Amino acid sequence: RKSLTIGLIPADGIGKEVIPAARTAIEAVGSDIPPPKFVDLVAGFEHFTRKGVALPEETIEVLKNDCDCALFGSVSSPSKKVAGYSSPIVALRKILDLYANIRPVVSVSPDPSKPSAVDMIVVRENTECLYVKQEQQTVGEHGREARATRLITERASTRIGQMAFELALARPRKHLTVIHKSNVLSITDGLFRESVRAIPAKEPRFEAVTVAEQLVDSAVYRLFREPQIYDVMVAPNLYGDILSDAAAALVGSLGVVPSVNAGDSFVMGEPVHGSAPDIYGQGIANPVASIRSAALMLRHLGYTQAADRIDNAVDSVLREGQFLTPDLNGSAKTVQVADAIVKRI
């Protein structure tokens, strides 16, 4: 590549505070990546309230035609149905076929020579499950009734399973836990479980990975009691969403957990957290999740050295403890943390 074109979609709330911070981190890596070109793109609930559209066609076209990758902030999706609105991030994952959501959850060890207490990757299927959003309400004999379709396909379960095996194979422990609830949902979760478990027989190199499986509720329980047992977890969309937010509590804050939405031909970094309306506008959002998402995006594109430099800078700032935002019991502002990280890159 002669240059790296990166779409920036801050969207709503603290997304507008943390995505600019991630941009400064990318700019700081210099010649470890091709010269970056940033393209500012719009989407989100605020854009919807002003312009009547949450995900403009232009944003989609520019991402598809001009960008090598992208960074997404967060959207403020209302909890109640708003006519004409649907979440742009859920739509983008489908439109760009970003079928895997990869969420590393790692605690920073106070001593860099010691292993982290928590060091896992939650691999979340990103295109189906209840997120196909086929809901309906009817009126039955005893009042209103609501139903939702939960789609699980062999194709999507197999490709997310392959991604999870690949990630597990590259890690020292090579351990994969398949998350499901097929004791109750034997047809849907049963298909997910079977599809993932069938992979090593077809791809013998994955036989080096040890495979365990666990019901989602007991997985949350064990996650809190003995997080060190997990290496890579693979889960259908909704369980993966919940598990990774829960795992974030173990490493101090949602404000430090990054992710990438990855497909076969595009990758989009995105902090796991939402738009955090409770702190938006104060300049105190933790930029670490977005900065790490930028690193993860670069890593996915093969720029390992640039990604390492960003991650090492973040680790050292977190260890030093001088520039921490209030979610980590500090008193630094977003820009102060970002500046401290940029200096160390």
Please give the Cα distance from 288 to 25 (Å, whole number): 10
DSSP 47: H
- Pick the stretch among 93-101, 127-135, 141-149, 251-259 that binds ligand NAD (CB under 6 A): 251-259
From the list 235, 285, 318, 337, which residue makes contact with ligand NAD (rule: CB under 6 A)? 285
Which residue in 304, 248, 305, 249 sits closest to 271, CA to CA?
Answer: 248
From the list 4, 14, 63, 243, which residue makes contact with ligand NAD (rule: CB under 6 A)? 14
Contact between 176 and ligand NAD (CB under 6 A)?
no
Choosing from 68, 245, 308, 339, the catalytic residue is 245
Can 241 be counted among the known catalytic residues? yes
CA 31 to chain centre: 27
Choosing from 99, 131, 230, 280, the catalytic residue is 131
Sheet with 267-269: strands ordered across: 36-40, 4-11, 69-74, 267-269, 260-262, 100-106, 119-125, 232-235, 175-180, 210-215
Closer to K ion by Cβ: residue 161 or 258: 258
Contact between 231 and Mn ion (CB under 5 A)?
no
From the list 234, 289, 310, 332, which residue makes contact with ligand NAD (rule: CB under 6 A)? 289
Closer to ligand NAD by Cβ: residue 178 or 289: 289
Contact between 255 and ligand NAD (CB under 6 A)?
yes
Please give the Cα distance from 123 to 223 (Å, whole number): 15
Q: Which two tokens stand for residue 332?
A: 């630094």
Contact between 127 and ligand NAD (CB under 6 A)?
no
From the list 18, 25, 74, 125, which residue makes contact with K ion (rule: CB under 5 A)? 74
Please give the Cα distance from 245 to 69 (Å, whole number): 24
The residue at minimum Cβ distance from K ion is 74
Size (the chain), residues: 345
The residue at minimum Cβ distance from ligand NAD is 274
Closer to Mn ion by Cβ: residue 231 or 270: 270
Q: Which two tokens stand for residue 132?
A: 């196909």
Please give the Cα distance from 257 to 289 (Å, whole number): 5
Closer to K ion by Cβ: residue 126 or 162: 126
The nearest distance, CB 275 to K ion, in angstroms, is 8
Can 189 be counted among the known catalytic residues? no
Q: Which two tokens stand for residue 228?
A: 């060190």
- The site partner of 275 among Mn ion, K ion, ligand NAD, none (C-beta below 5 to 8 Å per kind) is ligand NAD
Closer to K ion by Cβ: residue 270 or 315: 270
Can 66 be counted among the known catalytic residues? no
* Residues 115 and 227 sit within 8 Å (Cβ to Cβ): no
Can 264 be counted among the known catalytic residues? no
The nearest distance, CB 260 to Mn ion, in angstroms, is 15
Residues 79-108 that bind ligand NAD (CB under 6 A): 89
Contact between 241 and Mn ion (CB under 5 A)?
yes
Our separate counts of H helices and E strands in the chain read: 12, 12
Can 311 be counted among the known catalytic residues? no
Residue 219 backbone dihedrals phi, psi, to 5 degrees: -65, -40
Please give the Cα distance from 53 to 220 (Å, whole number): 37
* Residues 290 and 274 sit within 8 Å (Cβ to Cβ): no
Neighbours of 79 (CB within 10 A): 5
Dihedral sign for Cα atoms in the order 323, 319, 253, 16? positive
The nearest distance, CB 9 to K ion, in angstroms, is 10
The nearest distance, CB 300 to ligand NAD, in angstroms, is 18
The nearest distance, CB 10 to ligand NAD, in angstroms, is 11
Q: Which residues are catalytic?
A: 131, 181, 217, 241, 245
Question: In the complex, which residues of this chain contact Mn ion (CB under 5 A)?
Answer: 241, 245
